């Protein structure tokens, strides 16, 4: 679905991305892991068409993204940011309608088909009872789900998510990640950045690790994320605990050693 070939980008004379190459297939959940400042957001902006001056090539279904019109790109790739509190008191339905109308002109009005798409997106995430609620008054987890519904209403099958569980409590993080995993089971493709390695271990089909604008590991999470690579990324000693079955052998817990010294003795 998405192919990135030898992608490089610089802000002026400052290089940020260095010859990145990877692909994301249909129904895949690719977790992008790396500390702040390694180029994750810049990579997303290139994929979303917000930065055009990159070297290399980005293909969507075999076609260069450079040839996409804005309306075509909106129907192909949707962006889900971190949950935020808006200035205006839009209802949840109105927020989702913005996604349904995203491929239209700036001053286009939603029609019956757009409203139907927005309602279907809310129902798909179990949010129909929140349709008339003020988006700003929803909980952080509910707001994030509304943003995912907005992306679904957009009609795109490829979703780019920038730390979708940031600032959410543990329960809401799990609920959001479960919904995201459910979308990939329905054939959506998801490229998601996270600072929590457990998200990659528990839900990703593939994990890509970035450092200094380069991909240093790409593969199954238990191969891409090791104690050594995590210590190198974040500068702290890390201990991985295998809590999965013997069949999977997948790590499901990642904790800094700093707070476990007494437990580990």
∠ at Cα 156 (17, 202), nearest 5°? 65
- Rounded CA-CA distance 34/224 in Å is 12
Name the pLDDT band for 229 (thresholds 50, 70, 90).
confident
Listed residue (265, 20, 43) closest to 162, CA to CA: 43
Looking at residue 262, its pLDDT comes to 42
Poorest-confidence range of 106-110, 122-126, 146-150, 193-197? 106-110
Per-residue pLDDT at 254 exceeds 60: yes
What span, in angstroms and rounded, lies between the C-alpha atoms of 172 and 216? 30
Residue carrying the six token digits 């998200």? 199
Higher pLDDT, 83 or 139: 139
Show the CA angle centred on residue 211, arms to residues 209 and 214, nearest 5°: 85
pLDDT of residue 81: 86
Q: What share of the chain has pLDDT > 90, as a percent?
A: 61
Per-chain mean pLDDT for the chain: 87
Q: Are 49 and 128 in contact (CB under 8 A)?
A: no
Tell me the pLDDT tens digit for each residue of 26-52. Answer: 999 999 999 888 999 999 999 999 998
Q: Where are the alpha helices (DSSP H) in the chain?
A: 40-47, 70-76, 92-100, 112-124, 140-153, 170-185, 197-203, 221-224, 227-234, 261-264
Region 59-80: what's the mean pLDDT?
A: 92
Q: 7-32, pLDDT tens digit by residue?
A: 999 999 999 999 999 999 999 999 99
Asked whether residue 146 carries a pLDDT value surpassing 90, the answer given is yes
Q: What are the structure tokens assigned to 239, written together?
A: 């201990």
Mean pLDDT of 184-209: 93
Output the pLDDT for position 208. Answer: 96
Please state whether beta strands 55-60 and 29-33 pair in parallel, antiparallel, or not at all (unpaired).
Answer: unpaired
pLDDT in tens, 83-98: 676 657 799 999 999 8
pLDDT computed for residue 92 by the predictor: 93
Which CATH superfamily hosts domain 2-225?
P-loop containing nucleotide triphosphate hydrolases (3.40.50.300)
Domain ranges of the chain: 2-225
């Amino acid at each position: 679905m998405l192919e990135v070939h030898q992608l490089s980008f610089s802000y002026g004379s400052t290089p940020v991305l260095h010859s990145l190459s990877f692909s994301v297939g249909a129904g895949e959940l690719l977790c992008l892991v790396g500390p702040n400042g390694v180029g994750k957001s810049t990579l997303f902006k290139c994929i979303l068409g917000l930065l055009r001056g990159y070297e290399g090539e980005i293909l969507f279904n075999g076609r260069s993204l450079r040839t996409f019109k804005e309306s075509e790109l909106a129907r192909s790739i949707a962006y889900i940011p971190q949950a935020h509190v808006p200035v205006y008191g839009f209802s949840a339905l109105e927020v989702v309608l913005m996604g349904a109308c995203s491929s239209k002109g700036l001053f286009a009005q939603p029609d019956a088909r757009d409203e139907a798409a927005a309602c279907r997106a809310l129902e798909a995430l179990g949010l129909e009872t929140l349709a008339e609620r003020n988006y700003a008054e929803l909980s952080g987890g509910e707001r994030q789900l509304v943003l995912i519904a907005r992306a679904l209403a957009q009609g795109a099958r490829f979703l780019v998510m920038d730390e979708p569980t940031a600032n959410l409590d543990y329960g809401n993080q799990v609920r959001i990640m479960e919904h995201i995993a459910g979308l990939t089971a329905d054939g959506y493709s998801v490229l998601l950045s996270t600072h929590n390695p457990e998200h990659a271990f528990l839900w990703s089909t593939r994990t890509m690790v970035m450092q200094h604008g380069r991909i240093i590991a790409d593969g199954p999470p238990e191969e891409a994320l090791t104690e050594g690579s995590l210590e190198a990324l974040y500068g702290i000693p890390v201990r991985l605990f295998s809590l999965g079955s013997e069949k999977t052998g997948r790590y499901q817990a990642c904790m800094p050693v700093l707070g476990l010294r007494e437990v580990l003795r």
